[in-house]
Chain A
Amino acid sequence: MSSTSQKHRDFVAEPMGEKPVMALAGIGDVLGKRLADKGFDKAYVVLGQFLVLKKDEELFRDWLKEISGANAKQQGDCYGCLKEWCDAFL
């Protein structure tokens, strides 16, 4: 498995429940704030968006970039984190 951050491993280890959006891999304070301002204050809301975009990588990355200004690495980390969580729990 490619190197995943601790944050990633922590997130995909259990149901996300009420975890804040900053618990997502790739989403730090700055991005988390921007997302929260747009209404995506919980991880599950971002999950909702991920699902509405049919779990498509390109769409999700484009969306994340548009809404929060995430760079490619952050987009990738967040996508990978959500994808793996879905594979495990959805």
Chain B
Amino acid sequence: MALSSKSADEISELLDEYGIKHGPVVDSTRSLYEKKLKEAMAKGKRAKPSSDKTYYREEEVTYVYRTPVRSEASRDSGTYMRSRPEWSEREYEQETSYSDYSRSRPEYRGRDFVDEPYTYSSPSSYREFYSRSTPVKSDQEAPKSSRLVPLWVQLVFFLAVAVFLYVVFSSMETNESLIGLE
């Protein structure tokens, strides 16, 4: 990176990127700023280029990516996610991470089976993500132990409640047999 061949504006921009406070880049200040930039680069400070690369909080969001093995179940939990966002953090680790950030999807390289919390963002994004989830092969045995309440338990519970309600309802219809009410 030949700093001396850069224009004053470019030097100024670089200084901003490295967060170096500076005045105008004129003849008498140029060498000072070039020196400062060299030091900053050598230290490997994090430079924040302004536009093209946007790092969307990579450390927060990890791509937990799996094939929805129990695809039907997954779909259910998909709706769960929408209605119960408070579950989404821990329980749905087998689901794809739904950060809607416009990063290219193939970023979920090695992080497939890591259970980490991810940022829950707008529902529309994971809908689209969903449709692409099938091509990726993943471990079929999702570590259920990491979920607070396993999915099948939720389903069983749901069915039990449904059955119970049905029983109550049907017993209200008929006068003669009061099943389960007394």
A: which residues have CB within 8 A of B?
A: 48-49, 52-54, 56, 58-59, 62-63, 66
The stretch that binds A, out of B19-27, B42-50, B59-67, is B19-27
Bound Cα distance from A48 to B23, whole angstroms = 12
B: which residues have CB within 8 A of A?
A: 21-24, 26, 28-29, 31-32, 35-36
Contact A52/B36 with A63-B29, A66-B31 known, Cβ cut-off 8 Å: no
The secondary-structure label for the interface of chain B is helix
A59 and B22 within 8 A (CB) = yes
A59 and B28 within 8 A (CB) = no
Q: With a CB–CB cut-off of 8 A, which chain A residues contact B23? A: 52-54, 56, 59
Bound Cα distance from A49 to B26, whole angstroms = 10
B171 to chain A, nearest CB (A): 82
- Among A49, A56, A58, A62, the residue within 8 A (CB) of B28 is A49
Q: With a CB–CB cut-off of 8 A, which chain A residues contact B28? A: 48-49, 52
